[in-house]
Structure 1
Amino acid sequence: MPHPIERAQPRLEFIPQRFNLLVYYAVKALLPVLRRFRLRPWLPAGIAQIETVNVEKLVNLYQEFQNGKIRFLMAFRHAEVDDPLSMMYLLSKAVPRVARQENISLQYPAHSYFLYDRGMTLWAGEWLGWMLSGLGGLSIYRGKRLDRVGLRTARDLFANGKLPISVAPEGGTNGHSEIVSALEPGVPQLGFWCAEDLAKANRSESVLIVPIAIQYFYINPSWKKLNSLLSKLEADSGLSVQPIGESIEREKLFSERILRLGEHVLSQMEKFSDRFYHQPPSTNSNQDIDTRLQAILNKGLQAAEQYFNLESEGTVIERCRRIESAGWEDIYRGDLPDFNSLSPLHRGLADWIAEEASLRMLHMRLAESFVAVTENYVKEKPTFERFAETSLILFDLISRIKGDKNPARPRLGWRKTRVTIGEPISVTERFSNYQKNRVGARQAVDDLKRDLQTALEKMI
């Protein structure tokens, strides 16, 4: 079964950025190893190449930033957990190289502050918080209704920090190189806060948001490894294994195989939810997979929302955030400052509610993982990359249900990353609309979020 958190925990404290040159240069030196092997050197199939596009735009922005003319935020696509390594390469390797080629003098390191989810340290360990802090990262308590300390710190760094700032506007990974999830409002809001702070201080810098696309490609796709992965998933899900040999219709056969697996897993989840969620069936097998998938995600979220007494309102991501907030409040107890003074009875009750909340949150984790999944992703463009991404998402789902703790994703071959710098979007030019009134401010944030989404999608 899935592994819940079994013990109540103290409140998660904010981890500030403490940029340290020794940490920075150590990670920079290890970057070639990290991007190839990450933390599992026995799986040598990571990122072999990183291609950068339009880096001269970023070099010019750094020059203007260092000359006190602009403040800027880099809004990067967040498809995979490897994205920060690609960003580190962009700033520490590509930017200095292009600056030398263009005879542009920059102050080094050309780095940035960045935001990361406070929950990352829960599965990776406290050492990760120390390292990310030393690299200039500050934690955001994503599961909190309003992380005032984190947001206030990020706002101050954007307006006054010695470095630019980087944020993933999607808020989390979606596993798809070619689908941009719906953006959260945090990046546009940070942009307008920065413009507001500069205006109050009578400063003349312009505020910009720079869209950055990150996309992955397999250099030599290993159809044999993909076949092995699908065979394992078929066996784990109770399907007959369908090995595929050499065929001129290979893409068609793999597409049909993945859709068959997805259909089977979906039907099993539907049967499970119809029997145990105590909700009326909302779909039938005649509907398309996308409709049925959204229905099962909705039922899973409702199962969690009913427990936490939450309204089923907003987008899937908004609902996931509310569930996460409610769950973390039951697990990381700010109302219990001294756990050592608790009686065994009170400690037992705290642990009970923490484990219950953790189990309920698993519904949200599954929905969060599948928010961008669509049947057409494989059908419209049957490429190895899309097959691999969809298969790995199914691997994550089945692993969670099996109860595998932190399963190591199979590696399907060496990959190349392409990092593309887009045209900067001026926040300053939109600031007058933001200043009008509350309605104008909300509309300005929504418009900027829409334009940023469009910019990221156009770079795919």
Structure 2
Amino acid sequence: MPKSIQSIQPPLKFIPPRFNAVILQITRWLLPLMLRLRLRPWLPAGIVQIEAKNAEVLVQLYQQFQAGKIRFLLAFRHPEVDDPLCMFYLLSRIVPQVARQQGIKLAYPVHSHFLYDRGMTLWAGDWLGWFFSCLGGVAIRRGKRLDRQAIQTARDLFANSNMPIAVAPEGGTNGHSGFVSPLEPGVSQLGFWCVEDLVKAQRLETVLIVPVAIQYRYVNPPWAKLEQLLQKLEAKSGLSLSPIDNSINAQPEIYYQRLYRLAEHVISEMEEFYRRFYHKNLTDIPNQDINSRLHRLMDTALQVPEEYFNVQAQGNFIDRCRRLEEAGWSYIYREDVADIAALSPIRRGLADWIAEEADLRMRHMRLVESFVAVTTNYLQAQPTAERFAEVTLIIFDMLSRISDTKTPARPRLGWRKAKISIGEPISVTERAANAQGDRQATRRAASQLTQDLQVTLEQLIK
């Protein structure tokens, strides 16, 4: 199990954006190397090619933006941690190149502000917050009901900065290139706020939201490495090892059976864990399919920290995870303690105790967080090497969280290509005008915009 937090921590301070053109340029120079090595030079895998569909749409948008005619937000899919690098490549390399081909001169920098999860700096280190800040990033606490500083900063940048802004409307990664998680309403809300701010300032720019989808493909299907990884996961889970047969490695139906067997075994182990040690009613239901069992297990896992933190189980799994994250952080990163060093020994000891216990309770939520999009239907619909790899790596993450002394780096299964698809811009200004300033109508329009954006992103990855 990864090292736990064992003591009270100071509050998580807001990290404001401090855009630095020099840091941006250095990052642009290093980007090809970062993509190929992913900052881990001992791993022979990375992203070797990025292609963009409809990049000319972004060229036109940047041209109009720099001419003061529009404001726009890039609403991009966020299936995995490589997405920011791909988006950076899109804006710093592909868009300027297409602009030159079309004879369009864009002012430097062709870049964007972006929102990122404040929690990233907790596992990556404070340097990441400094780095993202220099690139124009805005740290936001996803589970906080109203992160006023982050939201107000993003709102101001959207309306007034000399660069557009990028936001992942799913709120986090789901590990699936071929599935869009339910979108959060923040992107639509930012769009309508921007229209409102421009009207108040008597400005005439049109506000747009631009859907962007990112998908990954392996240069060569990594069946051999998937087989090796599956063997390791079977051993780690306590399953008897299946014999390696090179003649069937590339047969998806055989790999599906192996993966199904592993998933069923892990679910059974976790059901017994929660049944025995947390006294949860997980009675066997005859002929219950594995998707239903996984759904029930995830619900049970979230109940454990919800009961501890006294948090109501409302919304979908993602909503529940967000609330639990914020509840846990409130026990660890104590905003109610002005000076940790000034605490009496007994209060410090109790604060450390509660912080450690909160961290342990949050691990139940972290297990669920990785599985929000996992179903057997995803593999059955398209039994590709990419989808098998995605699900296998999610199971790797889960077993590593439980059994390893520290969180290991994900195995790199082979060289990959990224495809970025840019959809047609959605006019928020037009929808706000149709609402005619009526609050209820505006709420309905914002909700409809979220639904339309969801459909568009799903269409872009088909």
Structure 1 residue 189 corresponds to structure 2 residue 189? yes
Residue 349 and residue 435 in structure 1: after superposition, are their counterparts in 2 closer, same or farther (change >3 A)? farther
1:45-84 to 2 correspondence within 5 Å? 45-84=45-84
Question: What is aligned with 1:320?
Answer: 321
> CA deviation digits over 1:236-289, x for unaligned, max 9?
001111123123872111111111111111111111112122222265252111
Question: What is aligned with 2:5?
Answer: 5
Coordinate RMSD, CA, aligned:
1.3
Question: What is aligned with 1:233?
Answer: 233
Q: d(CA) in 2 for partners of 1:451 and 1:317?
A: 20
Work out whether residues 217 and 417 of structure 2, in 8 Å CA contact, stay in contact via their aligned partners in 1: yes
Question: Aligned AA for 2:418?
Answer: T
Count of aligned pairs between the two proteins: 460
- Offset at 1:2? 4.7
Work out whether residues 192 and 434 of structure 1, in 8 Å CA contact, stay in contact via their aligned partners in 2: no
Question: What is aligned with 1:297?
Answer: 298
Q: d(CA) in 2 for partners of 1:100 and 1:211?
A: 23
Question: Aligned AA for 1:343?
Answer: S
Q: d(CA) in 2 for partners of 1:282 and 1:10?
A: 43
Does the residue aligned with 2:346 lie in a helix, a strand or coil?
helix
Question: What is aligned with 1:252?
Answer: 253
- Offset at 1:145? 2.2
Does the residue aligned with 2:420 lie in a helix, a strand or coil?
strand
Q: d(CA) in 1 for partners of 2:320 and 2:126?
A: 28
Q: d(CA) in 1 for partners of 2:195 and 2:369?
A: 32
Q: d(CA) in 1 for partners of 2:439 and 2:342?
A: 46
Work out whether residues 282 and 295 of structure 1, in 8 Å CA contact, stay in contact via their aligned partners in 2: no
Structure 1 residue 353 corresponds to structure 2 residue 362? no
Work out whether residues 227 and 249 of structure 2, in 8 Å CA contact, stay in contact via their aligned partners in 1: no
- Offset at 1:40? 1.1
Work out whether residues 283 and 292 of structure 1, in 8 Å CA contact, stay in contact via their aligned partners in 2: no
Work out whether residues 223 and 250 of structure 2, in 8 Å CA contact, stay in contact via their aligned partners in 1: no
1:259-338 to 2 correspondence within 5 Å? 259-281=260-282, 284=285, 286-338=287-339
Q: d(CA) in 2 for partners of 1:149 and 1:282?
A: 46
> CA deviation digits over 1:33-85, x for unaligned, max 9?
11111121100201011111100000000000001110000011000100000
Question: What is aligned with 1:170?
Answer: 170
Work out whether residues 3 and 403 of structure 1, in 8 Å CA contact, stay in contact via their aligned partners in 2: no
> CA deviation digits over 1:400-452, x for unaligned, max 9?
01144231111111000001111111111111355544433332221111100
Does the residue aligned with 1:99 lie in a helix, a strand or coil?
helix
Q: d(CA) in 2 for partners of 1:84 and 1:327?
A: 27
Q: d(CA) in 2 for partners of 1:342 and 1:321?
A: 30
Does the residue aligned with 2:49 lie in a helix, a strand or coil?
strand
Does the residue aligned with 2:100 lie in a helix, a strand or coil?
helix
Q: Any unmatched runs of 5+ in structure 1?
A: none
Question: Aligned AA for 2:380?
Answer: K
Q: d(CA) in 2 for partners of 1:280 and 1:255?
A: 30
Question: Aligned AA for 1:339?
Answer: I
Q: d(CA) in 1 for partners of 2:433 and 2:98?
A: 35
- Point out the more displaced range, 160-169 or 135-144: 135-144
Does the residue aligned with 1:410 lie in a helix, a strand or coil?
coil
- Point out the more displaced range, 274-283 or 187-196: 274-283
Question: What is aligned with 2:120?
Answer: 120
Question: Aligned AA for 2:310?
Answer: N
Residue 22 and residue 289 in structure 1: after superposition, are their counterparts in 2 closer, same or farther (change >3 A)? same
Q: d(CA) in 2 for partners of 1:103 and 1:267?
A: 61
Percent of aligned positions with the same letter in both sequences? Answer: 62
Question: Aligned AA for 2:179?
Answer: I
Work out whether residues 77 and 457 of structure 2, in 8 Å CA contact, stay in contact via their aligned partners in 1: yes
Work out whether residues 77 and 213 of structure 1, in 8 Å CA contact, stay in contact via their aligned partners in 2: yes
Work out whether residues 73 and 167 of structure 1, in 8 Å CA contact, stay in contact via their aligned partners in 2: yes
1:125-140 to 2 correspondence within 5 Å? 125-140=125-140
Work out whether residues 71 and 158 of structure 2, in 8 Å CA contact, stay in contact via their aligned partners in 1: yes
Question: What is aligned with 1:391?
Answer: 392
Question: What is aligned with 2:433?
Answer: 432
Work out whether residues 143 and 328 of structure 1, in 8 Å CA contact, stay in contact via their aligned partners in 2: no
1:11-30 to 2 correspondence within 5 Å? 11-30=11-30
Work out whether residues 227 and 244 of structure 1, in 8 Å CA contact, stay in contact via their aligned partners in 2: no
Q: d(CA) in 2 for partners of 1:308 and 1:283?
A: 28
Question: Aligned AA for 2:362?
Answer: M
**Given the two structures, how large is their TM-score scaled by the length of structure 1?**
0.98
Work out whether residues 77 and 180 of structure 1, in 8 Å CA contact, stay in contact via their aligned partners in 2: yes
Does the residue aligned with 2:207 lie in a helix, a strand or coil?
strand
- Offset at 1:325? 1.1
- Offset at 1:326? 0.7
1:219-230 to 2 correspondence within 5 Å? 219-230=219-230
Q: d(CA) in 1 for partners of 2:135 and 2:409?
A: 25
Does the residue aligned with 2:48 lie in a helix, a strand or coil?
strand
Q: d(CA) in 2 for partners of 1:23 and 1:268?
A: 48
Work out whether residues 2 and 407 of structure 2, in 8 Å CA contact, stay in contact via their aligned partners in 1: no
Q: d(CA) in 2 for partners of 1:439 and 1:283?
A: 46
- Point out the more displaced range, 434-443 or 224-233: 434-443
Q: Any unmatched runs of 5+ in structure 2?
A: none
Question: Aligned AA for 1:444?
Answer: A
1:152-167 to 2 correspondence within 5 Å? 152-167=152-167
- Point out the more displaced range, 442-451 or 275-284: 275-284
Question: What is aligned with 1:400?
Answer: 401
Work out whether residues 317 and 371 of structure 1, in 8 Å CA contact, stay in contact via their aligned partners in 2: yes
Question: Aligned AA for 2:68?
Answer: G
Q: d(CA) in 1 for partners of 2:36 and 2:301?
A: 36
**Given the two structures, how large is their TM-score scaled by the length of structure 2?**
0.97
Does the residue aligned with 1:310 lie in a helix, a strand or coil?
coil
Work out whether residues 144 and 328 of structure 1, in 8 Å CA contact, stay in contact via their aligned partners in 2: no
Q: d(CA) in 1 for partners of 2:63 and 2:289?
A: 52
